[in-house]
Amino acid sequence: MLVSFIAVLLILFFTLDKASVSGLWQRPARQTGLFACALVLALLWRIKAGIVPGLDIHILGITAVTLILGWRLASLAAVLATALLASFSTIPWENAAVFAITTALIPIYFSYGVFVLVYNLLPRHLFIYIFVCSFLCAALANCLKILVGALYYWAIGTYEWSMLMDNYVILSALIWFPEAMLTGMAMTLLVIYRPHWVRTFYDKEYLAP
């Protein structure tokens, strides 16, 4: 538990640079966006289902938050959401750091990595942003979260791999489409009606004729 908490603190230390912190401090609108995203994440993670204790599936919302805030502030929002859930005993405090790493931080870095690759390798088109960076990336991020969680519980010896495959990993086939659909719809509405809220969306590039 101590190692995982130290890992989260180190990740945040190296993630939040001076520009992000000063921009967050000086712009109340950005603070509102950060806390709103943290609250939405906490609510999404509160609604969960599963077969075996500790092995739950739920809508992540991580890809959308990463695209809206950028990977640095998204990491902070995810840690705040985790702390909020732990404060209300939704998750035990001793599992909070591992939860933040497997459920939030790894999917955040994956989502932003996909965005950077798509931005540099594919045409900068609205359809590509919505379908690849939002829809497809969200589906893969949720599947990755499930796989990482399964590997963690297998590595510490909590469950056998065969049990994890039959009762947890296979559930990724059920959750990927709802995750992708909700993320794609949310990002479509945002880039159309509130593009200035989305930090990774550039009007002049994605909407250029």
The predicted structure's pLDDT at residue 96: 92
Pairing of strands 55-57, 49-52: antiparallel
The predicted structure's pLDDT at residue 20: 77
Answer whether residue 209 shows pLDDT above 70. no
Give the number of domains in the chain: 1
Point out which residues pair with 52 in neighbouring strands: 55
Q: What is the mean pLDDT of residues 66-77?
A: 94
Higher pLDDT, 179 or 157: 179
Answer whether residue 21 shows pLDDT above 90. no
Using 50, 70 and 90 to split pLDDT, how confident is the model at 29?
Answer: confident
Can you give the CATH number for the domain in which 76 is found?
Answer: 1.10.1760.20
Domain limits for position 108:
2-206
- pTM of the predicted structure, to 2 decimals: 0.92
User: Distance between CA atoms of 124 and 143, rounded to whole angstroms?
Assistant: 26
pLDDT tens digits, one per residue of 131-171: 999 999 999 999 999 999 999 999 998 899 999 999 899 99
Report the candidate in 26, 131, 42 with the shortest Cα–Cα distance to residue 83.
42
The predicted structure's pLDDT at residue 16: 84
In sequence order, what are the residues at sequence separation of 6 or more whose Cβ sits closer than 8 angstroms to the Cβ of residue 118? Answer: 128, 129, 132, 133
